[in-house]
Structure 1
Amino acid sequence: MSSQNNSEIEHLAAKLLNNTITKEERQRLEDWYAEIPADPTVWELADHNKYELKARLFAGIEKRIQRPAKKRVLWRSVSAAASLLLIAGLVTWTWQARMSVSKTVDHVQVLSNGKITKVYLPDHSIVWLKGNSSLDYPVKFSDSTRNVTLHGQALFEITKNPLHPFVISTSNYTTRVLGTSFNIEENPAQKTFRLTVLTGKVSVYAKNDKGLLGAKPVIVTPGKEFESVVSAGAPTVVDAKESNKLQILDGTEYNMNFENSGFRDIKARIENKFNVTIVADASLYSNCHVSADVTDQSLENTMKVLKSVLSLNDYEIKNGVIKLTGGGCN
């Protein structure tokens, strides 16, 4: 693809970072990256993970910049516009990329750097990282358990899978769930840990000095809060304060409770939460108003509810685009 049109490179790179690229377009971009490779390609783009894709772009750019001048003719031939598009979005992210993505590309670390950062995991679970936190997870969950490591604070909305429990490791506790939503906030320096459960049941295991888990977990149910403060004695389970719940949800797209909501609002909220684009004839649904709570529901379940309330003929989810057909409220 040495003769690849510059505007197309720019277009494909933008679609890649936005997770809207098609299989054929990914292949064209892959072919472009394959020209004059610095090292054999050791990973794929199939997981549709924004952080992995950014890591690949960064790695590809870095390798080409570091290659001898005589082998960088192709890189210099790409237009400044395309180069800037790829690099501008990564400049502020470059230093974290060096620290946050393992060289074997089988593991990803995401840093929030003081902002709420939404992470889509390989099993379609969603995590909102908060404050100065980090989340480590594998590119693909392949074990009997789905294991991640959290340092700091995060709101988790976990895809239900009874056969593969989801396990979060923090400094002093390990949290185990099958599929639920909850918030974890730990501060190792102050030796505090708080877990607030929104839906489902959560098991919390204390770790000893050697990192081994205690024999008996504490079971925390919806509306309850597990809190451990070393200076205050034994951990406690209490009713979660309403103010704590509001603070947990602030700045996230977790709440999907529609109350007489119009189609435009519903469309925007679904697109923002699941990072998809909904394509539809808006005129069909301009008079539709929906009251339904799909909080803590997957994209597929959310669309099933929407199909029912909008009387859709059908919907299709493909490559991050959802197409609605038929139905309406006119």
Structure 2
Amino acid sequence: MNNQELKNLIEKYLNGTLEPSEAAQLEQWLDTTGDEHAFDAMPEAEKETARKEGYNRLVQRINKHRQPVVIKNRFRYWKAAACIAGIAVAGALFRKPMLDVVAPHRLVSLQSTPGSPKKHILSDGSIVWLKGNSKLVFPAGFGAGNREVVLQGEALFEIAKDPQHPFLVKCGTLTTTVLGTSFNIRETGKETQVTLLTGKIALSAPQSAQVVLYPEQQAVYSSTATAIRKKEEGALPFNDITKGTEYDMAFNDATMQQVLKRIEDKFEVNIQLQDAVINSNLITADFTDQSLQHTMEMISQALNLDFGIKGKTILLKQKK
């Protein structure tokens, strides 16, 4: 892509007239920009600082450019050129954030390998642990309709509650519909097994009656048999299903440091304590299948604390 073509795309983006095909072209350019290997070699702390500071500057610049322009056109093109320069300088540091700005509903693919589950937090706050050699295809950002993903293989899902926007998991010809719950799907090629941990889900497939599962129930679907079959009730293989994940959040006389570290790891946040005395508490509670917001509310209510969430940072302090 030459400078003139890139300038035209940026100009359309600033005007809100970027066509889907053009967004894909700009997305492809962004996806191939920058020295990825140099970025990967940076220490993790420096990566995170670079992402936050640099991306914030880019977003501020873009937001500024989107304001109505009343000065002559040649100045408008100068602003577009400045935006191009800013994006080009960003390179590998801001590739994914910039793609999220330009093409928020694009499909993203996540692949795991045998060994340990690969976790991903979706745009709605739902958490997915991909297991084994599995693949998940999902939108970078969910729109106003249903939340829909496609799974090949096995994954443990912990779905953020949103009754207005059902969550659909497509696995072969089997569709799992949920509102907010946790469950495991395992597809082997011959059949698909669904295990419900909490909540309620509905399973549907062509030429098969819908099957509803309740907690601690399992069902098996085989496309050759064209039927969804509930398995006989028995003890769930809970440890096998949750192995290698942070799903289990039950604590018994755990230190506050242990609890907060587990919360940080699961939700990929940073918790800062304003008062060191908070660490003296011991916790006995079960936060399994609870959102970050609800988890912090439960802790704060039990220990008479206040908390605030800003992005990926949580401030926890004693109530005055």
User: Normalised by the size of structure 2, how large is the TM-score?
Assistant: 0.69
Task: Specify the alignment match of 2:31 in structure 1.
Answer: none
Given that residues 196 and 215 in structure 2 are in contact (C-alpha distance below 8 angstroms), is that contact kept between their aligned partners in structure 1?
Answer: yes
Task: Specify the alignment match of 2:109 in structure 1.
Answer: 109
Task: Specify the alignment match of 2:317 in structure 1.
Answer: 325
Task: Specify the alignment match of 1:136 in structure 2.
Answer: 137
Task: Specify the alignment match of 2:165 in structure 1.
Answer: 164
Instruction: Give the superposition deviation at 1:16.
Output: 5.9
Question: For 1:105-136, what per-residue CA distance to the aligned partner results, in whole angstroms no more than 9, with x for missing partners?
Answer: 71111001223111111111000000011111
Given that residues 12 and 25 in structure 1 are in contact (C-alpha distance below 8 angstroms), is that contact kept between their aligned partners in structure 2?
Answer: no
Given that residues 192 and 227 in structure 1 are in contact (C-alpha distance below 8 angstroms), is that contact kept between their aligned partners in structure 2?
Answer: yes
Task: Specify the alignment match of 1:257 in structure 2.
Answer: 250
Higher share in helix: 2
Unaligned runs of 5+ in 1: 1-5, 42-51, 60-102, 209-213
AA at the equivalent of 1:197:
L
User: Where in structure 2 are the equivalents of 1:99-248 lying within 5 Å?
Assistant: 106-114=106-114, 115-188=116-189, 191-207=190-206, 214=208, 216-229=209-222, 235-239=228-232, 241-242=234-235, 244-248=237-241
AA at the equivalent of 1:14:
E
Task: Specify the alignment match of 2:77 in structure 1.
Answer: none
Unaligned runs of 5+ in 2: 1-37, 62-81
Task: Specify the alignment match of 1:76 in structure 2.
Answer: none
Separation in 2, partners of 1:183, 1:155: 4
Percent same amino acid among aligned pairs? 35
AA at the equivalent of 1:13:
K
User: Normalised by the size of structure 1, how large is the TM-score?
Assistant: 0.67
Is 1:268 equivalent to 2:261 in the alignment? yes
Task: Specify the alignment match of 1:277 in structure 2.
Answer: 270
Instruction: Give the superposition deviation at 1:265.
Output: 0.7
Given that residues 253 and 273 in structure 1 are in contact (C-alpha distance below 8 angstroms), is that contact kept between their aligned partners in structure 2?
Answer: yes
Question: For 1:215-251, what per-residue CA distance to the aligned partner results, in whole angstroms no more than 9, with x for missing partners?
Answer: x310011000001356889543135654622101111
The counterpart of 1:35, out of the listed 79, 85, 91, is 85
The counterpart of 2:288, out of the listed 295, 299, 302, is 295
Q: In angstroms, what is the RMSD of aligned CA positions?
A: 3.4
Label 1:290 to 1:54 Cα distance change in 2 as closer, same or farther (>3 A). farther
Given that residues 196 and 240 in structure 1 are in contact (C-alpha distance below 8 angstroms), is that contact kept between their aligned partners in structure 2?
Answer: no
Instruction: Give the superposition deviation at 1:163.
Output: 0.9
| SS of equivalent to 1:113 | coil
Is 1:14 equivalent to 2:48 in the alignment? yes
Separation in 2, partners of 1:274, 1:53: 21
Number of aligned positions between the proteins: 253
Separation in 2, partners of 1:148, 1:170: 9
| SS of equivalent to 1:134 | strand
Separation in 2, partners of 1:285, 1:327: 11
Label 1:281 to 1:311 Cα distance change in 2 as closer, same or farther (>3 A). same
Separation in 1, partners of 2:291, 2:104: 30
AA at the equivalent of 2:148:
N
Question: For 1:254-285, what per-residue CA distance to the aligned partner results, in whole angstroms no more than 9, with x for missing partners?
Answer: 11112221101111110000000111156312
